[in-house]
Amino acid sequence: MTHHRAWFLIGLCAFAGALTISIVTLAKHIPSTERLQMVVSWRYAVLAIIVVMAALGLFRRFRTRMLWDVLCMVMLFLGVWFAALLAMPISIALLTAAALTLGSTLFRRVWIHNVFFLVGAAGAAIQFAEWLPPEFLLASLVCVTLYDMVEGIRIVPGVLVPSRLTEVWMRVDDAVKGSIPFLGAGDLILPLALIARAAFHSPLPALVVFIGLLAGVFVAVQRHDLHPREALPSLAAGAALPFLALRVLSLI
- What is the reported pLDDT for 155? 43
Give the percent of the chain with pLDDT over 90: 15
More confident residue, 118 or 178: 118
Express each pLDDT in 190-215 by its tens digit.
899 999 999 988 889 999 999 999 99
What are the structural domain ranges in the chain? 3-246
Least confident of 107-111, 154-158, 164-168, 204-208: 154-158
| Closest C-alpha among 184, 202, 181 to residue 145 | 184
With 0-12 / 13-18 / 19 or more C-beta atoms within 10 angstroms meaning exposed / middle / buried, residue 241 is middle
Task: Look at residue 153 in the predicted model and tell me its pLDDT.
Answer: 47
- Asked if 123 and 82 touch (Cβ cutoff 8 Å), the reply is yes
Averaged confidence pLDDT in the chain: 77
Three-class SS of 164-221: CHHHHHCEHHHHHHCCCCEEEHHHHHHHHHHHHHHHHHCHHHHHHHHHHHHHHHHHHC
Higher local confidence (pLDDT), 188 or 150: 188
* pLDDT at position 156: 47
pLDDT value of residue 41:
65
**Environment class of residue 243 by beta-carbon count within 10 Å: exposed (0-12), middle (13-18) or buried (19+)?**
buried
Residue 140 has pLDDT above 60, yes or no: yes
Average pLDDT over residues 168-193: 79
Tell me what pLDDT residue 131 has. Answer: 77
When pLDDT is averaged across residues 52-81 and rounded to a whole number, the result is: 66
pLDDT at 92 (0 to 100): 84
Residue 31, number of CB atoms within 10 A of its CB: 8
**Residues 6+ away with beta carbon under 8 Å from 196:** 20, 21, 24, 122, 125, 126, 128, 129, 130, 206
User: Is the separation of the CB atoms in 22 and 74 below 8 Å?
Assistant: no
| Greater model confidence, 189 or 55 | 189
pTM: 0.79
For the cut 90, the answer to whether the pLDDT of residue 133 exceeds it is no
Q: What is the CA radius of gyration of the chain?
A: 17
Q: What is the pLDDT averaged over residues 223-251? A: 77
Give me the pLDDT at residue 86, please: 73
Q: Are strands 182-184 and 158-160 parallel, antiparallel or unpaired?
A: antiparallel
150 vs 194: CA distance, rounded Å: 23
CA atoms lying within 13 Å on the CB side of residue 242: 22
d(C-alpha 60, C-alpha 120), whole Å = 26
Of 16 and 154, the structure prediction assigns the larger pLDDT to: 16
Range of weakest confidence among 67-76, 89-98, 166-175, 182-191: 67-76
- pLDDT score, position 228: 44
